[in-house]
Amino acid sequence: MTTPDPSATALAAARAALAAAHAGDPGRVGEAIPEARYADAVEAWIRRLVATPSTALALAARAQHLERWAIPRASFPQDKPGYFAWRRAVHKRQGERARSLLVGAGCPPELAARVDQLVAKAAPKDDREGQALEDAACLVFLEAELGGFATAHPDYTREKLIDIIRKTWRKMSPAAHELALGIPLAPALKELVVAAVSG
């Protein structure tokens, strides 16, 4: 989907607005801003997945977890339906918030609407940019979050962790699979990934 590009000034303002929103992450520790690091990681994978990403896709990468903390998980029932309802609410808010920030920065409304669609995960299933964004998020999970996730859930069996990785794998494109297999992981995590993808 082609959308008009913003001026250089508007693009810089949009990226600055997203950065300012990330800086509000209450989870920051000292100089580390987890949400900002996440945005950097997603955008870096996008640039490996797509030769020349559109401005909309690059901005959507930076907004993938935009103010995720604004809607607490505890505000929804602590069961599977509650989890999925929370995720839908978070995605919708993230898309709307990204659109608002981009319009406020002077970006074309069509571009802001496209970023909203991508971030809210409202793009059609065959949307290539939507798939690229999903790929990037999955790659960040495998590269940077899998170890911490496993540590945070000591009650999870090996089989459950393998099932989670397998579900992540199913969301990814063949190109993302190839990149994922090249991620340097600790031996225990690598073994889980190999077991998940070869099962």
Tens of pLDDT, residues 53-70: 999 999 999 999 999 889
Domain map (residue ranges) of the chain: 1-121, 127-199
Task: Give the mean pLDDT of 134-140.
Answer: 97
The letter for the amino acid at 52 is T
* Cα distances (Å, whole numbers) of residue 80 to 73, 74, 87: 12, 13, 11
- Of the candidates 68, 67, 72, 56, the residue with the CA atom closest to the CA atom of residue 21: 67
Task: Give the mean pLDDT of 171-176.
Answer: 97
Beta pairing partners, 32: 29
Is the full-model pTM beyond 0.75? yes
